């Protein structure tokens, strides 16, 4: 009665309604995705900045690390130049489902039908959710402005969620500002079937982030959560640091080598290089994406410990709210 429910998407069943966000570059790779799947959630590999062969390798390794448990997905931003190639590579490699954000693809649904892979787009409005359902989406992730990384809205998730739940009949996944079991309880009560969590898993032992990257999560204050103008044409939420201060000052950051990795780019700076710098520990020259509530994270836990806490917190939230409801007139 007080346990996290299952999550059903396109005929697939996850033991727990928790999708780990796809975080680039190489923050959510095979080690993290495999660990999440092993605990009964949906582990997600971020395919950005990977070659098709690298993505195939990551999927194979994640399967091994999952020990045959849970589900695995990939997340590829529509904004990247090799979007179609990476998506089809993941599908051919036998990925369970595909998540897609930073733009909207219509072709992806035909590819999903061809390879029998459920498509789950990340949306920020009821109108986009309805369009996705019409095109054949198995579910939608509703992401608000609290999320880390590239954003498609300036509205809170809790404002958008009820509009989307009312507009579609497919499963709705809440994303942005989800850290604790109490948050999961709240959005499930609002009609969501599951949650997507990025920041909490970025601050895990299995995350691909280096130690000094994770340390910034632990040291962050609420006011350190900031928005930058990403060269891909979307705002991005991260943690204030030396590079973001240069950007706020109007500096144009030198691009050492442009590989035309994005379909569109303002070239104010290289987002790929900034994310790679962060992942490789060059924090001053990097962009450290994180959600708005990053300051609430006080420890680096294993994925198992995170799941254990979420299950305990969700159960307690159920009991507390049942007790309150029992004494209401």
- What pLDDT, in 10s, does the model give residues 51-62? 999 999 999 999
DSSP secondary structure code for residue 96 in this structure: S
pTM, two decimal places: 0.94
Whether residue 169 lies inside any domain: the answer is: yes
Is the same domain home to 233 and 285? yes
Is the same domain home to 60 and 91? yes
* Domain count within the chain: 2
Is the same domain home to 92 and 237? no
| Cα angle 153, 154, 159; round to 5 | 90
Which residues are CB-neighbours of 235 under 8 A, at least 6 positions away? 150, 151, 154, 227, 228, 229
Please list the pLDDT of the chain residue by residue as tens digits (329 residues).
589 999 999 999 999 999 999 998 999 999 999 999 999 999 999 998 899 999 999 999 999 999 989 999 999 988 888 999 999 999 999 999 999 987 788 999 999 999 999 999 999 999 999 999 999 999 999 999 999 999 999 999 999 999 999 999 999 999 999 999 999 999 999 999 999 999 999 999 999 999 999 999 999 999 999 999 998 888 999 999 999 999 999 988 888 888 787 778 888 888 999 999 999 999 999 999 999 999 999 999 999 999 999 999 999 999 888 654 544 34
CATH number of the domain encompassing residue 84: 3.20.20.70
* Cα 295 from Cα 287, distance rounded (Å): 17
Is the same domain home to 202 and 284? no
Is the same domain home to 224 and 94? no
Which of 176, 208, 240 terminates a domain? The answer is: 208
Which of 186, 208, 230 terminates a domain? The answer is: 208
Is the same domain home to 51 and 163? yes
Which residues are CB-neighbours of 50 under 8 A, at least 6 positions away? 58, 86
Whether residue 302 lies inside any domain: the answer is: no
Whether residue 106 lies inside any domain: the answer is: yes
Residue 6: CB atoms within 10 Å: 13
Which of 168, 186, 208 terminates a domain? The answer is: 208
Query: What was the pLDDT predicted at 1?
Result: 59
Whether residue 304 lies inside any domain: the answer is: no
β-bridge mates for residue 72, sequence order: 43
Domain of residue 285, residue span: 211-294
Parallel, antiparallel, or unpaired for β 119-123 and 12-14? unpaired
Which residues are CB-neighbours of 266 under 8 A, at least 6 positions away? 231, 233
Contact between residue 152 and residue 233 where contact means Cβ atoms under 8 Å apart:
no
Is the same domain home to 39 and 129? yes
Whether residue 2 lies inside any domain: the answer is: no
Whether residue 168 lies inside any domain: the answer is: yes
Is the same domain home to 225 and 188? no
What is the per-residue pLDDT across 168-200, written as a single tens digit (0 to 9) for each?
999 999 999 999 999 999 999 999 999 999 999
């Amino acid at each position: 009665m007080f346990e996290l429910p299952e999550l059903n998407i396109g005929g697939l069943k996850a033991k727990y309604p928790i999708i780990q966000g796809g975080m680039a570059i190489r923050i959510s790779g095979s080690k993290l995705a495999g660990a999440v799947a092993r605990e009964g959630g949906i582990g997600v590999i971020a395919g950005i900045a990977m070659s098709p062969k690298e993505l195939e390798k990551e999927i194979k390794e994640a399967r091994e690390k999952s020990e045959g448990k849970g589900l695995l997905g990939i997340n590829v931003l529509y904004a990247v130049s090799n979007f179609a190639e990476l998506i089809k590579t993941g599908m051919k490699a036998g990925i369970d489902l595909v998540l897609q954000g930073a733009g909207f693809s219509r072709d992806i649904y035909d590819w999903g039908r061809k390879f029998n892979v459920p498509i789950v787009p990340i949306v920020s409005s009821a109108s986009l959710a309805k369009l996705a359902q019409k095109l054949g989406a198995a579910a939608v992730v509703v992401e608000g402005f609290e999320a880390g990384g590239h954003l498609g809205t300036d509205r809170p998730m809790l404002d958008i969620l009820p509009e989307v739940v009312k507009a579609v009949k497919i499963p709705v996944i809440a994303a942005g500002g989800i850290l604790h079991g109490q948050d999961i309880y709240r959005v499930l009560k609002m009609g969501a079937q599951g949650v997507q969590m990025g920041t909490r898993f970025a601050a895990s032992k299995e995350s691909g982030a280096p130690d000094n990257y994770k340390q910034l999560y632990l040291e962050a204050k609420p006011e350190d959560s900031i928005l930058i103008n990403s060269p891909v044409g979307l705002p991005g939420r991260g943690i204030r640091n030396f590079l973001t201060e240069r950007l706020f000052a109007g500096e144009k950051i030198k691009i050492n080598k442009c590989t035309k990795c994005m379909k569109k780019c303002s070239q104010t700076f290289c987002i790929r290089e900034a994310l790679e710098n962060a992942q490789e520990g060059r924090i001053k020259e990097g962009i450290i994406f994180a959600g708005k509530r990053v300051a609430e994270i006080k420890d680096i836990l294993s994925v198992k410990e995170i799941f254990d806490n979420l299950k305990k917190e969700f159960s307690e939230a159920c009991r507390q709210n049942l007790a309150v409801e029992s004494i209401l007139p």
